[in-house]
Structure 1
Amino acid sequence: MDIQDKAYTSLEYDKILQLLSKHTSFSLSRELALSLRPLNDLDGAIRSQRETTEALRVLQLKPDITIGGARDIRSLVTKASLGGVLDPSELLQISDTIAAANSFSRQLGKVLEDADSFSLLSAQLRHIVDLSDLRKQIDAAIDDQAQVRDSASTTLARIRSQLRSAHDRLMQHLNSLISSSSYRDALQEPIITQRDGRYVVPVRADARHRIPGIVHDVSGSGQTLFVEPLATVDMGNRITELRRQESEEIERILAQLSEAVASVASDIMRTLLALARLDFALAKAKFSQHLHACEPELVSAEYEGDKLFLPDARHPLLGRDVVPITIFLGGDFRVLVITGPNTGGKTVALKTTGLLSLMALSGLHLPTSERARVPVLKYILADIGDEQSIEQSLSTFSSHVINIKKMLEVAGPDTLLLLDELGAGTDPEEGAAIAEAIIDYLLEKRALVVATTHYPEIKVYAQTTPGVTNAAVEFDLETLSPTYRLTIGLPGRSYAIDIAQRLGLPKVVIEAAKSRVSPESRAANDLLEQIEAEKKLADQRLAEAEQIRREAEELRSRAAAELQEAERIREQALEEGYQQALRELEDVRREIDEVRRRLSASQAASKLGEIADALRAVENVERRVRKSTRGSKRPSVIRRLPQVGDSVRIKSFGTEGKVLSISDSTAEVQVGSLRSRVPLSDLEVVGGKQSTETSSQTRTRGVRLNVDVRANISTELDLRGMRAEEALSKLDEYLNDAYIQGIPTARIIHGYGTGALRDAVRSMLQGHPLVSGFRPGGPGEGGDGVTVINLISR
């Protein structure tokens, strides 16, 4: 076993493939799953990830898509190609597989109508050949019970017709014989049976002479003879001849169909391979759903920065309850040294790093809280566990050294090395020295390294060596159990004496042990304990501050929503009053016109001045109504994010100002001679600069609004793989565009993951001025990995 295969075993990559294979639908795609290996070229690895993402979108659009009914018929096609004759059941398998391929192609084709969005799956789909003609030939000759139909050929139909007639005549003659009173006492029982394909009757041995014929069998007791009466021998011969002809015709038909299979063997094989690859892609997508995973970003080994970044990563074999860890590597440091107590999770962190890197390069999505980043590596190698060998007389230390020697031979910038208990199994001082020398060598080779150790010397080395940093797994002294949390930047401290004291070791022994610890080690442990306490306090205060911030934001959103509702009611009341006044004035105008119409000519002449005065009075009142009503309205709101130069209203104060600058989630607004920094969520645009983009003017209640227009806004926004801040920015921009386009409802795809992105999205939607409501996706809509929103109408 070479060192890469040994790493696959150590990291349990084969167990991942076993889980993946359970999501396949037939043996050929199962073979692809079990033979999956990481790719070490960037383009190929990215293509494999994109394929999984495309398949995941297919499942979201059509969760029940399947290739059910397909079989691995490669051996049957090969048999036909070599001149073999397929039996009816084998031909039926080929027909069923063609039917499954056609059905799957139609289903997938409807989903992949937008070929640009599914370019990889569309390319595979084009390899499925329409073999309907072959299927029709097979189905015309073979029925669902794998029997050759009478209609398979005119010759077979004629032979079987003659065979049925001959059989009926024979049965009629034999039935007449066994029901005849002349032969009743000569028969053992009045039945017709078969022996060697010939129809016979059971005759008593002592009455053999009564029914002349051919004896085909004798019962075990010798008391019964199975006789074919002479009168039916010719009829039996005729049936035997017709059966021979039937068999020859069936053999000819099957040979003809087998030749038809052989003639399109390459098309069948191409279709099978395409089906397997598409089913394999869907299996990767189903595995992604099972893990609540997301697509990682793949980068080259020369990427500047943290080329390996696994945020809130979960080991895929440990279930959903595993404590997630965040690991990053390759930016400020290339070597990460993890320390801490036994069973604290050091080896799990090591395996998680290696296994997720293998999965990413294999085209599998990763169980992380947001989009991970993984470099394309030539080697991902691991030295994990106790591999002492009695047969080879190797100690634990020797086996580790041999493994590491092989790893050092191939180490380079495109290599990730995972070293468990580096330098262990020998004298601690010498083991620590060897460990430091190995890390120095790997730093020169610019390899990525994650190592675990118990040696305090290596903690100091990692803290003082450029390119190397410490990480610690936490331990809870109250419960005497690890928390499995990983903290990068701090070395882990030893808890041996603390644990021994908590477990009741005599005080005198504990004090003696403490006295034997060097002052430097005690001081270092005290410092680490102080740092841990301060960090825990800082984390607690940060959590409290975050809770306060969330509550404040909720209150602000609620107040803004109530203010917006009050303003809506006020404007609605104004509008209703305005329209009511206009209707009443119009009624008055109509009444005046009616009075004028009814007056006689002489009366009209005398009343003309009064009528004109009344009309002028109505018009004056109408002008005053229009002026006062419009003048009481606030400037219309432009529903989009503020931009520099916009006129905006600060919703919490009701004052208006101008945006001077924007930074992150706040804007600097000038109100009169004062400048203030205000959250973007507390601003609404009430007028502003002319957009440089294409704009259209929308008339609303007599006011012309300039609004940005972006053509072809989709009813779906995919945020998977984005960080929360980036996703929320994209979502806010999308809501603005969708509102302007008049889209009533849309799907926001955030995936499952750990739920962090989903919660952030829904928190933002809660109380958003452009959103009238939202809900989780239902069956067929993506489930809880999707949020369906309703936007307010324009």
Structure 2
Amino acid sequence: MNKKVLETLEYDEIKNKINQYLATQNGRSELAELIPSNDFDQVKKWLDETDDGAHIYRLNHVIPMPKLNDISPSLKRLQIGANLNGKELSEISAVLIAITRINHFFENLVNEKVELHVLYDEVKLFSDLPEITADLKVSVDENGKILDSASNSLSTIRRRINQIESKIKSKMDNYTHGKQAKYLSDAIVTIRDDRYVVPVKAEYKGKFGGIVHDQSISGQTIYLEPAGVVELNNDLRREQINEREEEKRILAELSDLIRPYQSDLKHNAKQMGHFDLINAKARYANDTKATRPAISSENQVNLKNARHPMIDPKKVVENDISLGFDYRQVIITGPNTGGKTITMKTLGILQLMAQSGLFVTADEGSQAGLFDNVFADIGDDQSIEQNLSTFSSHMDNIISILNQVTEHSLVLIDELGAGTDPREGAALAMSILDAISKVNAEVLSTTHYPELKVYGYNRPETINASMEFNEQTLSPTFRLLIGIPGQSNALSIASRLGLDDAIVTEAESLTDEDSQDINSMIKKLTIQTKNADDHARLLEKELAEATALHEELTEKFTKFVNQKEQMVYNAKRDANQIVAETKQKANEIIADLHRKQKQSQINIKENELIADKGKINALEQHPELKHNKVLKRSKAKKTFKVGDDVLVKNYDQFGVLIKKLGNHDWEVEIGILKMKISESNLEKVKPEKKKVKQQTTIRRTRSSSMSTTLDLRGVRYDDAMQRVDRYIDAALVAGYPSVTIIHGKGTGALRKGVISYLRGNRQVKEFGFSPANSGGDGSTVVKFK
């Protein structure tokens, strides 16, 4: 790809945008070397990689890519036999650790069954070197400091250094805080010549024995190493030397360890940069709402709603651009500032992006070509230094293009033939287009010459186009109109701006009749094409929405049909399981009532027990039954209001709604009790049913089927509070004088919640923590009124 077109179409500006997403030096180097390719397999691979990266990003995953420096200089030092320092080793370690993380990242994607084109294969190309990674990880930190765990000897030496320094500081404290502190210019300990010293006033030098290492500029302070710490400083100095020697030995050992793997490390660093660039391409595509283009080896371009990537998305106008199907040349005519040049640049830059493996700023389903070269003559390249006029510079560029163009090239020429006499310029423009046409290259050119409008109609595989102009607002709309040449708006604009009608009329009379007819024809074609285009866009949008809705409904209906029988069977099975559990509990309750009936005077008849048990048995359904009354009843809508008579299902008692508590809870009066009940446990009843039920004599008694202890340990706060509420209600109905709530100690949040609830319950007489031998403040004893 020629460098001039990359500069003309601002290809490097796109690369600068991508550079912002890069984290590694190798990624930046690969981006700097990136240029469009005309190799189909290479471009497809690049697009597959970008597609994989974009798919991963859409799943809210991000390839773990830390900031990595270029390790090439370090590897070159290894190659010549040098030993690496801690910083260089830490940079190599960072690369190896990053590879380990990337491997784990893609293993998780495999487990999640995420489908990718090529990255699963490319991640296998890493050499993870686990033993070297482990050794470097325990030897150097991310800043290059050698860790104590690098060797036992180093750990021992540093421990001794710490001990000696501790002794020195202890002795120094006697000088800075003892009787001799008054002889110091400042009560601090500092270091001179790697030895601990104290600042002593010069006149009190004789008060201290020891060695003078330095003095202040004024000479009033000397830095003295007291005699009492000289030997300790000597010991410290020896150990520090031992530390440096051990560190050198460790660095040499680690350098020798990785020296045989230079090629692997070099490949790893390059591959990390490649993954970094893939990630950057994907993020750029996401932020610009770009899509993957199809690639046509026949150079058929079809960009849907294409927009220039460097223009603000809120201001850019989208255009459909197609080339290489029914026509190979497009000639755009029309006035300046109408958007001709930016349309041309949009085609050029999107084509370069596609051939670089980048997504393009166009709608899904767009297609780009695979050109061996893209040529562009855009802008004014006149040079005072070379004495080139605008026309001459254009001719130089076009001559160069004609010498290189092939049938697989894309040519973009702005203002073809401009800068000279209009008649000669138009003739030259047509000749140049004929020459390019003979090569069968694809061309998009712009011009002001009206003669090229006729050229566009008369030449095969050539079509006229123009940029739409709104005569009402006297401004361009920047929409590309294929098939319609640009019309002259000079006279109509002049009239609308207020030019005298007589002048406009005279100008029209001087314009030949053919030009007026052509302009009139173009105007009608423009209106018709715009209406047809708007209608087509509307129909296309409606068709897309209808198609999507049809596919969604078809998919859901098919899924419903396939799952309907199984869902009904599962629902009935679950309902029967609930009924079975209810029957078991009912049998236990009835057995308990039998026992209590023998021990007390409860007025419960045997036929009533059998009748209730029969009602429970009647709830059971078989999977083959088509009507499940239990399920139907559970789906019935329930609306409650204050004063409604209700059945409290979990207690099998009638009550009256007093007031609503929250979204789904009510305060219900049951006899003398007022209880908080969930709507799921309430059922509206008619007043006459309540009267029948009230004929039964009920007496509170203690039930052996309910524990006097509620254990909330391990239960989440919200669930625990609901359990406490239900449990207290049940205990009151059962007639328990007191119960125990075990909430544990933990953070204390659950305990506070229980205490807060008990304080607000009017049926609670008193409460307090259990005795120390029974749990202490880990449980609370509750007594009722």
Once residues 269 and 172 of structure 1 are traced to their aligned partners in structure 2, the CA distance between those partners, rounded to angstroms, is: 51
Residue in 1 aligned with 2:157? 159
Residue in 2 aligned with 1:276? 273
Residue in 2 aligned with 1:640? none
Residue in 2 aligned with 1:736? none
1:255 aligns with 2:252: yes
Q: Determine which of 377, 383, 390 is the counterpart of 2:384.
A: 390
1:340 aligns with 2:334: yes
Residue in 2 aligned with 1:218? 215
Once residues 161 and 137 of structure 1 are traced to their aligned partners in structure 2, the CA distance between those partners, rounded to angstroms, is: 21
Residue in 1 aligned with 2:409? 415
Q: Determine which of 93, 104, 107 is the counterpart of 1:106.
A: 104
Once residues 198 and 364 of structure 1 are traced to their aligned partners in structure 2, the CA distance between those partners, rounded to angstroms, is: 61
Paired letter, 1:355? I
Q: How does 1:567-716 map to 2 (within 5 A)?
A: none
Paired letter, 1:516? L
Question: Secondary structure of the equivalent of 1:393?
Answer: coil
Worse-matched range after superposition: 201-210 or 185-194: 185-194
- Cα separation, partners in 2 of 1:54 and 1:184, compared to 1, 3 Å: closer
Equivalent residues of 1:124, 1:277 under 8 A apart: no
1:405 aligns with 2:402: no
Once residues 147 and 106 of structure 2 are traced to their aligned partners in structure 1, the CA distance between those partners, rounded to angstroms, is: 33
Q: Determine which of 499, 523, 526 is the counterpart of 1:532.
A: 526
1:496 aligns with 2:490: yes
Residue in 2 aligned with 1:353? 347
Q: How does 1:180-219 map to 2 (within 5 A)?
A: 181=179, 183=180, 186-188=183-185, 191-219=188-216
Equivalent residues of 1:70, 1:98 under 8 A apart: no
1:41 aligns with 2:35: no
Equivalent residues of 2:25, 2:68 under 8 A apart: no
- Cα separation, partners in 2 of 1:66 and 1:547, compared to 1, 3 Å: closer
- Cα separation, partners in 2 of 1:335 and 1:198, compared to 1, 3 Å: same
Worse-matched range after superposition: 3-12 or 198-207: 198-207
1:314 aligns with 2:314: no
Question: Secondary structure of the equivalent of 2:2?
Answer: helix
Once residues 363 and 542 of structure 1 are traced to their aligned partners in structure 2, the CA distance between those partners, rounded to angstroms, is: 32
Deviation at 1:537, TM superposition (A): 4.5
Paired letter, 1:78? K
Question: Secondary structure of the equivalent of 1:136?
Answer: helix
Once residues 369 and 400 of structure 2 are traced to their aligned partners in structure 1, the CA distance between those partners, rounded to angstroms, is: 22
Paired letter, 1:228? E
- Cα separation, partners in 2 of 1:113 and 1:419, compared to 1, 3 Å: farther
| Structure 1 portions without partners, runs of 5+ | 580-625, 630-794
Residue in 1 aligned with 2:124? 126
Equivalent residues of 2:301, 2:367 under 8 A apart: yes
CA deviations 1:443-479 (Å, max 9, x no partner) are 1111111100010111111111112211111100001
Deviation at 1:189, TM superposition (A): 5.1
Deviation at 1:201, TM superposition (A): 3.1
Once residues 407 and 423 of structure 2 are traced to their aligned partners in structure 1, the CA distance between those partners, rounded to angstroms, is: 29
Equivalent residues of 2:307, 2:319 under 8 A apart: yes
Once residues 542 and 279 of structure 2 are traced to their aligned partners in structure 1, the CA distance between those partners, rounded to angstroms, is: 44
> What's the % identity of the aligned pairs?
35
Paired letter, 1:386? D
Question: Secondary structure of the equivalent of 1:156?
Answer: helix
Q: TM-score, normalised by structure 2?
A: 0.66
Deviation at 1:344, TM superposition (A): 1.1
Once residues 347 and 364 of structure 1 are traced to their aligned partners in structure 2, the CA distance between those partners, rounded to angstroms, is: 23
Paired letter, 1:138? L
Equivalent residues of 1:69, 1:100 under 8 A apart: no
Question: Secondary structure of the equivalent of 1:312?
Answer: strand
Once residues 246 and 542 of structure 2 are traced to their aligned partners in structure 1, the CA distance between those partners, rounded to angstroms, is: 86
Equivalent residues of 2:23, 2:67 under 8 A apart: no
- Cα separation, partners in 2 of 1:196 and 1:528, compared to 1, 3 Å: same
Deviation at 1:494, TM superposition (A): 1.3
Question: Secondary structure of the equivalent of 2:384?
Answer: coil
CA deviations 1:288-346 (Å, max 9, x no partner) are 22232222222224x6xxx1222221211123342221222223321110111211111
Equivalent residues of 1:300, 1:376 under 8 A apart: yes
- Cα separation, partners in 2 of 1:143 and 1:489, compared to 1, 3 Å: closer
Once residues 386 and 430 of structure 2 are traced to their aligned partners in structure 1, the CA distance between those partners, rounded to angstroms, is: 28
Question: Secondary structure of the equivalent of 1:129?
Answer: coil
1:523 aligns with 2:517: yes
Once residues 541 and 55 of structure 2 are traced to their aligned partners in structure 1, the CA distance between those partners, rounded to angstroms, is: 35
Paired letter, 1:249? E
CA deviations 1:41-89 (Å, max 9, x no partner) are 2222222222222222222335333313544333333333433333333
Paired letter, 1:309? N
Deviation at 1:548, TM superposition (A): 9.8
Once residues 301 and 544 of structure 2 are traced to their aligned partners in structure 1, the CA distance between those partners, rounded to angstroms, is: 31
Q: How does 1:420-569 map to 2 (within 5 A)?
A: 420-539=414-533
- Cα separation, partners in 2 of 1:528 and 1:191, compared to 1, 3 Å: closer
Deviation at 1:505, TM superposition (A): 2.3
- Cα separation, partners in 2 of 1:537 and 1:129, compared to 1, 3 Å: closer
Paired letter, 2:53? A
Worse-matched range after superposition: 486-495 or 70-79: 70-79
Residue in 2 aligned with 1:325? 319
Deviation at 1:549, TM superposition (A): 8.9
Once residues 372 and 535 of structure 2 are traced to their aligned partners in structure 1, the CA distance between those partners, rounded to angstroms, is: 44
Equivalent residues of 1:213, 1:230 under 8 A apart: yes
Paired letter, 2:301? L
1:135 aligns with 2:154: no
Equivalent residues of 2:64, 2:101 under 8 A apart: no
Paired letter, 1:221? S
Residue in 2 aligned with 1:94? 92
- Cα separation, partners in 2 of 1:219 and 1:432, compared to 1, 3 Å: same
Once residues 349 and 269 of structure 1 are traced to their aligned partners in structure 2, the CA distance between those partners, rounded to angstroms, is: 43
Deviation at 1:406, TM superposition (A): 0.2
- Cα separation, partners in 2 of 1:190 and 1:385, compared to 1, 3 Å: closer
CA deviations 1:387-421 (Å, max 9, x no partner) are 11111111100000000000000111111100000
Q: Determine which of 361, 365, 370 is the counterpart of 1:371.
A: 365
Equivalent residues of 2:56, 2:62 under 8 A apart: no
Paired letter, 2:303? L
Question: Secondary structure of the equivalent of 2:225?
Answer: strand
Equivalent residues of 2:306, 2:361 under 8 A apart: yes
Equivalent residues of 2:291, 2:364 under 8 A apart: yes
Pairs aligned (count): 559
Q: Which has the higher contact order (CA 8 A, sep 6+)?
A: 1
Equivalent residues of 1:67, 1:100 under 8 A apart: yes
Once residues 549 and 115 of structure 1 are traced to their aligned partners in structure 2, the CA distance between those partners, rounded to angstroms, is: 33
Residue in 2 aligned with 1:54? 52
Paired letter, 2:9? L
Once residues 388 and 26 of structure 2 are traced to their aligned partners in structure 1, the CA distance between those partners, rounded to angstroms, is: 42
Once residues 378 and 430 of structure 1 are traced to their aligned partners in structure 2, the CA distance between those partners, rounded to angstroms, is: 32
Worse-matched range after superposition: 319-328 or 523-532: 319-328
Equivalent residues of 1:115, 1:122 under 8 A apart: no
Residue in 2 aligned with 1:68? 66
- Cα separation, partners in 2 of 1:169 and 1:293, compared to 1, 3 Å: closer
Residue in 2 aligned with 1:615? none
Question: Secondary structure of the equivalent of 2:406?
Answer: coil
- Cα separation, partners in 2 of 1:273 and 1:178, compared to 1, 3 Å: closer
Deviation at 1:545, TM superposition (A): 7.7
Once residues 87 and 166 of structure 1 are traced to their aligned partners in structure 2, the CA distance between those partners, rounded to angstroms, is: 27
Residue in 1 aligned with 2:287? 290
Equivalent residues of 1:338, 1:346 under 8 A apart: yes
Equivalent residues of 2:211, 2:225 under 8 A apart: yes
Equivalent residues of 2:22, 2:276 under 8 A apart: yes
Deviation at 1:165, TM superposition (A): 4.1
